[in-house]
Amino acid sequence: MARTWDSFSEGDALPQLTKTPGVSDLVKYSAGGGDFNPLHHDYAFPQAKAIGSIIVHGRFKYACLGELVSNWLDHGGRIENIACQYRGMDLPDQTMTCGGVVKRKWEEDGKKRAELELFVENSSGKNTTPGTARVVFK
């Protein structure tokens, strides 16, 4: 059901989204987004060899944070801004947990908005991809 303004409070956690992308999933993302950098599918690529593995696209993690926010909002509003930083590499076949919390909820000039703090946590509990989003409600 579409998220309504009255249905949440500051401090609420967003329902988490877990992903364990394998090589096939990374290839699907490459095809969907148009990014065919071999670092994300070719273990023989020199940079992948130097790192010791192919790595998950930063943009795939960014898109997963988008999916997390989209699932929470469920079309009850629109994302005005979404941002993240790629602080750590994620490897294929490792579980990533995407989550977030409502940091701020406010009304200004007749617009109802919320600011969310987002994260992608790897299997060791490290936040590899801190992010934020701002949403405006219908």
Partner 1 sequence: MAEEVVITDEMRGLIGIESTPWIHEVTTTSVRAFARGVGYRDPVYYDIEAAQAAGYRSLPCPPTYLGTPVFIPGQSSETFSGPKDDGPTLEHGLPNLLDGGTETEYLADICAGDTLTASSSIVDLSIREGKSTGKMLIVTRETRCLNQNGELVARQSGQAIFY
Q: Which residue has the tokens 């076949």?
A: 93
CB neighbour list of residue 87: distance below 8 Å, 6 or more residues apart: 127, 128, 129, 130
For partner 1, the closer of residues 78 and 104 by Cβ is 78
Q: Which residues contact partner 1 (rule: CB under 8 A)? A: 2, 19, 21, 25, 28-39, 46-47, 50, 57-60, 62-67, 69-71, 74-75, 78-86, 138
For residue 63, give the nearest of 127, 15, 118, 4 by alpha carbon: 118
For partner 1, the closer of residues 28 and 104 by Cβ is 28
For partner 1, the closer of residues 68 and 121 by Cβ is 68
**Shortest distance, position 12 Cβ to partner 1, whole Å:** 19
Length of the chain measured in residues: 138
**Shortest distance, position 55 Cβ to partner 1, whole Å:** 9
CA dist 119 and 104 (Å) reads: 16
**DSSP category for residue 5:** G
**Shortest distance, position 6 Cβ to partner 1, whole Å:** 19
**Shortest distance, position 39 Cβ to partner 1, whole Å:** 8
With b meaning 16 or more CB within 10 Å and e meaning fewer, what string describes 87-100?
eeebebeeebbbbb
